[in-house]
Every structure is written in structure tokens, then in C-alpha cells.
Structure 1
Amino acid sequence: MVSIASDHGGYRLKEHIKAYLTAKGISVLDCGCDSLDSCDYPIFGKAAAQAVADGRCEKGIVICTTGIGISISANKVKGIRCALCSEPLSAEMTRRHNDANMLAMGAGMIGPNMAERIVDTFLSTEFEGGRHARRVGLMMDIEKE
């Protein structure tokens, strides 16, 4: 299952990606928001990240206008590695090398077709492990300091 969340600036793209994933047979946990009404992205980014951190969802996707604020919010949740991606290569590399468990996108930066390609790449790319596992461990140890 994939958690998904947005603020008002990412609402339309969130709904598009939610429908896209559902049509592909991927279960989605929608953590809000529920309309175009102005709202606060940290609330929804945190909810989607907590669903990943506590194991309810394998991965998560968060969207705001730029993807910046909501990715910062998601990364505040212990255990989350959220990467802001605006093209498929970044999505591939963050999965392969960083074992990112959440994807952030900016609805004002990319359109629905590019978002679909980024999501497909993110969800289908495996973590390489090896020397990268040590680095991910070091990254996650920063939370404990």
C-alpha cells in the first residue's frame, strides 16, 4: 500500500496520481487534503509519513506546489527518507542509492504525465544495498544524535 497526501496546491495532482495507482491495482491510503481549500501541508505530509514509518504503507507520495515544504515535513518523521524528484532519473537514483521510502513532487513544477513516469520509476526501482546500505545507516543514525 502507498500513502499519499497533498496540500491545496497539490490536490489535483494527488487525485490524478491516486486514480492512476488505483487503476494499476495499487492500494492507496489517502491522508488528505480533501479539497482545493487553503490548508497546511505539514499536517498532511506528517500523516502520510507516519503511515510509512509505522508500517501501514510500504512507500508514500507527498505533493505540494513545489514539493519542498511537504518533503521537509515528511522528513521530520523518524524513519522517513523523502526525496523531492522532478524527473525519473532522480526517482531511480534515490531508490537505488538512498532507499528512499517517500517521494515528493511539486504540482507547480511538473505535469501529470511526468508525475506518472516519476511514480512508476520510484515504485519499481529496488534498493541496491551493498555500500549504499552503510550510507543509509549513517544517514539514519543522524536522527539519534
Structure 2
Amino acid sequence: MNNCLFEVVDQPIVIESIIKKVENRNAGAITTFIGTVREITGEKRTIYLEYQAYKPMAEKMLMQIGKEIQEKWQGTKVAITHRIGSLDISEVAVVIAVSSPHRKAAYQANEYAIERIKEIVPIWKKEQWEDGESWMGDQLENKRYPRGEPEMKENNK
């Protein structure tokens, strides 16, 4: 598996270039997940996010996620790029592209990838709000509740 499929970068992500990495003549589907910086989380207004990572380990863990996906969903190809640094509202923080012979596997593998990123990849984000800031990304918080669950509850109100 080629490491350029799994990158942590400090420049804006070119979405089309990530999709091109997974194009395959045997793929009937390519799904993409594009994670962006949102302005409102619950009751708080975000000004910007700052991402930091232990880049060598983060890329190694992204590659591990790619291997897990290929074992679970045969015929898939995966590329994941995560951005670090200061990101403004609406900027792209992460792009996951998965190609597969069939669409269901591509969707499932893509969702699996973002959940695994939040579980095991050493990337941390600082949310800068109007009235303060907070670091997120402690993988130990997964022991208290599944990552993403509180956010999903807030967004489904």
C-alpha cells in the first residue's frame, strides 16, 4: 500500500486529487467524505479550528485503517488526507475517498474510515470559540461514550 494514499498535510486539500488516487477500472463506485469546519456546535460559535498531529504516527495509523478496510471489503482502494494547522469556517479538514466494485461497500468503508480516524489517529483539534477554546481528540474519551454520538444528538434536535 502506497503511503501517498495516506497523508497529513498543512496546505488546503485538493479534493479531486484524492479521488484520482482511488480511481480503478474495476470500481463501480467511489464515495468521498469531506469533513469541513462548521461554525455552530451546539450553542457555541466557532471562530476557527487548529489541528495538530504527530505526523509519522498519524500517517501510519491512516495506512492501518486503509489495510483494515481492504481486509473487510474486498476490492476497495482507499485514500485519506487530513489537514493540520489553522482552518477557517468551511475549510476542508479531511477527505476520505473509497473506490469499490459495488456502492454499498464503498459507503460502509468510508463511514468506517472516519470513525476509525477519530478512534486511533493521533490528531488533535483546538476549537476556538468567541468566549474561549478547548482541545479535542483525546482518544480516551472514547471510553466514556462513542465518538461522534454527542454531536449527532445535538445536530438531530
Same fold at TM > 0.5? no
Q: Could you say which structure has the greater relative contact order, defined with CA pairs below 8 angstroms and 6 or more residues apart?
A: 2
TM-score (structure 1 length as normaliser): 0.25
Q: Give the structure with the higher percent helix.
A: 1
Q: Give the structure with the higher percent strand.
A: 2
TM-score (structure 2 length as normaliser): 0.23
**Structure of larger gyration radius:** 2
